[in-house]
Structure 1
Amino acid sequence: MITFNQQEQRCIVSGRLTQDEVKQLWPKRHELFTASTQVIDLSSLEYADSAGVALLVAFITLHVSDGHETNVLRQLVNPSDQLKKIIELYDLSAFFN
């Protein structure tokens, strides 16, 4: 199970992000963040497979559906050791801080 906990300009992602969760989240991806979300904190994300990583990368420039257009480039921060291995394997370090 995956949760998104919005705390002002930071959203903390917790749980596991697998292909099954991505299938469920994709249709409502524009509703997961507020227009003010600038940082997506992955410190509580226990696991992500390749589909989960693809979704995380999509979150960086995702526009939100709260009626406000946003040009905010979000930051993905604090990846777990497991996620760091995938980041390195697929050469995605430019997307993660």
Structure 2
Amino acid sequence: MIEFLQQGDTCEIKGQLRQTEVIDLWPKRQQLFTDSTQVLDLSALEYADSAGVAFLLELICLGNCSKSTTQPRTLANPSTHLKKLIELYDLESFFLEN
């Protein structure tokens, strides 16, 4: 199960993000959080496979391509597991380091 918890300009993503969740979430991806969301907090994301990582990047693109946002949307607080995928796919520029 995956949850998106909006708190101000941050949306915490909680649970697991695998291909099966991505397939279910894809049609709803534009409604998962508000246009004012600037940070997707991944500290409670327990697991993500390569489809989950691709989905996270799509969420970043949706936010950064929106005409109503003034700051780029970023990903923050990845788990150790997710950091390995970030390094493997050379995606460090999409993530904030805290």
Identity of counterpart residues, as a percentage?
A: 59
Deviation, structure 1 residue 35: 1.2
Aligned pairs for 1:5-84 within 5 A: 5-63=5-63, 69-71=67-69, 72-84=71-83
Length-normalised TM-score, structure 2: 0.89
Partner SS for 1:22: helix
Please tell me the residue identity of whatever aligns with 1:92.
Answer: L
- Mean Cα deviation higher: 6-15 or 72-81: 72-81
Q: What does the per-residue CA deviation read over 1:11-53, in whole Å, with 9 as the maximum and x for residues that have no partner?
A: 0000000000000000000000101100100000000000000
Question: What RMSD over aligned residues (CA atoms) do the two structures have, in Å?
Answer: 1.3
CA distance in 2, matches of 1:81, 1:21: 21
**Which amino acid is 2:47 matched to?**
Y
Are 1:19 and 1:51, in contact at CA under 8 Å, matched by a contact in 2? yes
Structure 1 distance, partners of 2:14, 2:30, is 18
Q: Could you tell me how far apart the structure 1 residues matched to 2:47 and 2:13 are?
A: 11
Runs (5+) with no aligned partner, structure 1: none
TM-score normalised to the size of structure 1?
Answer: 0.90
Instruction: Report SS of the residue matched to 1:43.
Output: coil
Q: Structure 2: any 5+ residue segments left out of the alignment?
A: none
Pick the structure with more helix per residue. 2
